[in-house]
Amino acid sequence: MERFKNILVVHEDDEAGRSTLSRAVDLATRNQAELTLIQVIGKIPTDYQMLITSLPPDEIMRMVIEERTRRLEQYAASFSRPIRVRVVAGREFLEIIRDVLRNNHDLVLKTARGMTGAMGMLFGSTAMHLLRKCPCPVWLIKPGSEQSFQRIMAAVDVVPLEFEENTLNRKIVKLAGSLTRMGNGALYIVHAWEKMDTVFSPGRLNYFSDSIETLINESRKIHTKWLNDLLDKCDLTDIKYEKHVQSGWAEEIIPQFAERNDIDLIVMGTVCRTGIPGFFIGNTAEKIVHKVNCSVLAIKPEGFETPVRLED
């Protein structure tokens, strides 16, 4: 796997965070990539600044950053390869994205945080901001994940080959395939399509029930062909994989498939209008993320523009 060359890891001061960094070290070693560990600390609140008289607030922040940097350098030195460290003050997701912009990172790794369980969600507010606005792929690692992912899902939304959307689909399959090879695991390529009977009921638009069934069967054949056409353009040599074309809403099918098949990692795209700052993660993708309880690697389409600016 030789895709990522400049990886940024968000520091978490616990065992889950150490596991995420260990995973990043392994990935960087395999890819001969540069690796940076970033820690974002909060700024001194304005009301506290007014009460501090012994030192200027900027001087206090400088001292805090220097001390945190020393600690982070000691922590990073315990790993098996050189790791750059960076400590900055500000709002976490903004400073992470600004670091991506300044230093051309091509992957962000972060430990997933938030409520877990059937009625909760794994991803916290920083993670969701990154999924919506970070210009490079974002890999959110579920705490307690095994070092090697063994059951990986590539969630694709296939269309005829001449459509630009397939550029993103190919990236999803290629990356999921590379990770499957790396862990010698199994790959599940899943496409959910909306059946006609979820939109129209018998009797509407002068359709009879048998006519709708014929349309559904023909539509399934078309979507299966589109998926086969896509996979014909992808290198899946030496990969054990299954392909699934399932009917229903993607925001229901993908989480259900992941739970039913004990998926460790979902590789998926964020559906957005490219080139328009403010359209970040599509409604379907966001619903999927809220419902899954596994790690997620999310990829932006070509031409995505983040609304975050360095000068803000």
Locate tokens 């359709």: which residue?
207
188: enclosing H helix or E strand: strand 186-193
Residue 282 pLDDT greater than 70, yes or no? no
Backbone angles phi, psi at 35, to 5 degrees: -135, 130
pLDDT tens for each residue of 33-43? 999 999 999 87
Sketch out the chain's domains with CATH numbers.
1-111 (3.40.50.620), 150-312 (3.40.50.620)
Q: What is the per-residue pLDDT for 195? A: 61
pLDDT average, residue stretch 177-192:
93
Question: Sign of the CA dihedral 12, 16, 19, 23?
Answer: negative
In this prediction, residue 23 has a pLDDT band, given cuts at 50, 70 and 90, of very high
159 HSE (CA, 13 A, CB side): 8
pLDDT average, residue stretch 92-98:
96
By CB neighbour count within 10 A (0-12 exposed, 13-18 middle, 19+ buried), where does 294 fall?
buried
Of the ranges 146-150, 194-198, 230-234, the best mean pLDDT one? 230-234
Q: Output the CA–CA distances (angstroms, integers) from residue 25 to 22, 79, 179, 181, in the order listed.
A: 5, 8, 15, 18
200: enclosing H helix or E strand: none
Contact 276, 115 (CB under 8 A): no
Locate tokens 């938030």: which residue?
114
Which candidate, 102, 99, 96, 83, places its Cα nearest to that of 29? Answer: 83
In our burial notation (b when 16+ CB lie closer than 10 A, e otherwise), range 222-231 reads ebeebbeebb
Q: What is the per-residue pLDDT for 211? A: 73
Out of 91-95, 161-165, 255-259, 275-279, pick the least confident: 275-279
Q: What is the per-residue pLDDT for 119? A: 41
Q: Are strands 265-269 and 84-89 parallel, antiparallel or unpaired?
A: unpaired
8-state DSSP, 106: S
Residue 274 pLDDT greater than 90, yes or no? no
**Amino acid, single-letter form, for residue 312:** D
pLDDT average, residue stretch 170-198:
87
Q: What is the per-residue pLDDT for 241? A: 95
Q: What is the pTM of this model?
A: 0.86
Residue 79 pLDDT greater than 90, yes or no? yes
Backbone angles phi, psi at 274, to 5 degrees: -70, 150
pLDDT average, residue stretch 287-297:
90
132 Cβ contact list (under 8 Å, min separation 6): 270, 280, 281, 286
pLDDT tens for each residue of 105-156? 999 999 987 655 444 567 778 998 999 899 999 999 999 887 789 999 999 9
The average confidence (pLDDT) of the chain is 84
Residue 48 pLDDT greater than 70, yes or no? no
Share of the chain above pLDDT 70, in %: 81
Q: What is the per-residue pLDDT for 276? A: 42
Contact 109, 7 (CB under 8 A): yes
pLDDT average, residue stretch 94-105:
96
CA geometry: angle 208, 200, 253, nearest 5 deg: 125
153 Cβ contact list (under 8 Å, min separation 6): 176, 187, 188, 189, 190, 254, 257, 258, 261, 263, 265, 266, 267
Q: What is the per-residue pLDDT for 285? A: 81
pLDDT average, residue stretch 192-205:
59
By CB neighbour count within 10 A (0-12 exposed, 13-18 middle, 19+ buried), where does 238 fall?
exposed
Q: What is the per-residue pLDDT for 197? A: 52
Q: Which of the pair, 199 or 166, is modelled with greater confidence?
A: 166
Q: In angstroms, rounded to a whole number, what is the distance separating the alpha carbons of residues 101 and 143? A: 27
Q: What is the per-residue pLDDT for 50? A: 46
